[in-house]
């Protein structure tokens, strides 16, 4: 018992060290993303006040001075990093009554809710459907799932979303095609389905392939030979090895759902980060675009890091690799 407890404690310490290393790597990675994004938006033609009609040169000069845009780019970069270190993403150059932090507080909950519900729908539907298709390969259900998955992957979101809005919102009038009222779940159905369909199809295909491979493992055949109930065999012996590839794809899938909400939020008029990012890019709102890029980068890298830690925690072979 003492040896077993000591080994378990050692494994937990190695896992914690691995998680801390992944967390520390976020800092230089985010700094690199911020640096590249900062100079790229400055290299883009035009400026945040070029959209103003017949703006006098003196007024434009005052605006540039007020927002520090008259300073050299290096000085602007240093000031931005200093403010960012204190949690200040700066003022919005297009929505001048708001700061970027305030716009994030408005849009981030909507985007997280949209992406979270799409990810939940992907897992709740994709995993059992993929398992069912794998249990009866070549059957009618398997062929139907394969055909629908190919269609869902092939048709882009910016085509699926208007079609769903036209069919269920305009013609049938079952669901609203725009707007977002907190607590009104009908507003989220069409955006969530539009966003989740490609990832749902991909996860379904991945689960099917993983389960088919796991069904031919020696210990699964042994379990069948011992007369165990098929449900027990699937639950205890097939799903654990089949889940690992799905878990590997979970980080990129979640990241794709968050970044893919740019199109969905714009099409359905949702007050999320995607719509603000599109508006900021069109208006050359440097601080707003940078703030959204930073948040997306942190979310994407954080989700991928969390999935990596979960894989190490669940896979004994990966935990053994940490000791080397």
For position 79, what pLDDT does the model report? Answer: 87
Q: Kindly report which listed range (103-117, 162-176, 310-324) carries the lowest average pLDDT score.
A: 310-324
Q: What is the mean pLDDT of the chain?
A: 78
pLDDT tens, residue by residue, 63-95: 667 777 777 888 888 888 888 888 888 888 777
Q: Identify whether the C-beta of residue 106 lies closer than 8 Å to the C-beta of residue 271.
A: yes
Spell out the residues 6+ positions from residue 233 whose beta carbon is closer than 8 angstroms to its own: 220, 223, 224
Q: Look at 140-144, 265-269, 320-324 and tell me which has the smallest mean pLDDT.
A: 320-324
In CATH terms, is domain 97-322 a member of 3.40.50.300?
no
Bridge partners of residue 91, in order along the sequence: 99
Tokens 């590249």 label which residue? 36
91 three-class SS: strand
β-sheet bridge partners, residue 99: 91
- Per domain, the residue ranges of the chain are 97-322
Tell me the per-residue pLDDT of 48-65, one tens digit each, with 9 for 90 and over. 666 655 666 776 677 667
Q: For 212-227, how does the pLDDT look when each residue is reduced to its tens digit (9 = 90+)?
A: 887 777 777 777 677 6
**8: confidence class by pLDDT, cuts 50, 70, 90:** low
On the question of pLDDT at 3 being above 50, the answer is: no
| Bigger pLDDT: 109 vs 237 | 109
Cβ density class 155-168: b for 16+ within 10 Å, e for less: eebeebbbebbeeb
Residue 2: what pLDDT? 46
279 has a pLDDT exceeding 50: yes
pLDDT for residue 4: 47
Model pLDDT for residues 144-156, shown as the tens digit of each residue? 988 998 888 888 8
- Listed in order, strand segments (DSSP E) in the chain are none
Provide the pLDDT for residue 46: 65
Q: Is the pLDDT of residue 288 over 80?
A: yes
Q: How confident is the model at residue 47 (pLDDT cuts 50, 70, 90)?
A: low
Q: What integer pLDDT is reported at residue 1 of this predicted model?
A: 44
Q: What is the pTM of this model?
A: 0.76
How remote is the C-alpha of 272 from its chain's centroid? 14
**Residue 286: its pLDDT value, please?**
80
- Please, which contacts does 246-250 make with residues 24 or more away whose CB atoms are closer than 8 Å? 246/127, 246/203, 246/206, 246/207, 246/210, 247/307, 247/310, 247/311, 247/314, 248/307, 248/311, 249/202, 249/203, 249/206, 250/307
């Amino acid at each position: 018992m003492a040896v077993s407890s000591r080994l378990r404690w050692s494994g937990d310490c190695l896992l914690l060290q691995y998680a801390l290393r992944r967390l520390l790597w976020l800092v230089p990675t985010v700094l690199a993303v911020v640096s590249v994004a900062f100079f790229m938006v400055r290299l883009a033609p035009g400026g945040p006040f070029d959209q103003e009609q017949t703006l006098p040169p003196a007024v434009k000069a005052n605006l540039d001075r007020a927002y520090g845009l008259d300073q050299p780019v290096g000085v602007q970069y240093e000031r931005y990093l200093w403010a960012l270190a204190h949690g200040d993403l700066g003022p919005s150059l297009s929505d001048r009554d708001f700061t970027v932090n305030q716009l994030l507080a408005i849009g981030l909950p909507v985007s997280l809710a949209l992406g979270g519900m799409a990810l939940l729908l992907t897992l709740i539907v994709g995993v059992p459907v993929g398992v069912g298709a794998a249990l009866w390969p070549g059957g009618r259900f398997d062929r139907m799932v394969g055909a629908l998955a190919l269609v869902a992957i092939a048709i882009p979101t910016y085509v699926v979303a208007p079609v769903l809005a036209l069919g269920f919102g305009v013609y049938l009038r079952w669901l609203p095609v725009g707007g977002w009222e907190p607590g009104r779940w009908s507003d989220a159905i069409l955006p969530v389905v539009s966003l989740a369909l490609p990832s749902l199809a991909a996860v379904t295909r991945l689960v099917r392939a993983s389960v088919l491979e796991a069904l031919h493992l020696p210990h699964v055949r042994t379990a069948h030979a011992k007369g165990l109930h098929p449900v027990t065999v699937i639950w205890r012996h097939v799903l654990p090895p089949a889940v690992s590839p799905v878990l590997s794809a979970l980080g990129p899938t979640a990241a794709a759902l968050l970044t893919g909400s740019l199109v969905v939020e714009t099409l359905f008029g949702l007050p999320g980060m995607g719509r603000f990012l599109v508006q900021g890019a069109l208006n050359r709102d440097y601080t707003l675009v940078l703030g959204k890029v930073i948040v997306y980068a942190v979310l994407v890298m954080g989700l991928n890091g969390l999935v990596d830690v979960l894989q190490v925690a669940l896979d004994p072979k990966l935990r053994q690799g940490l000791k080397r």
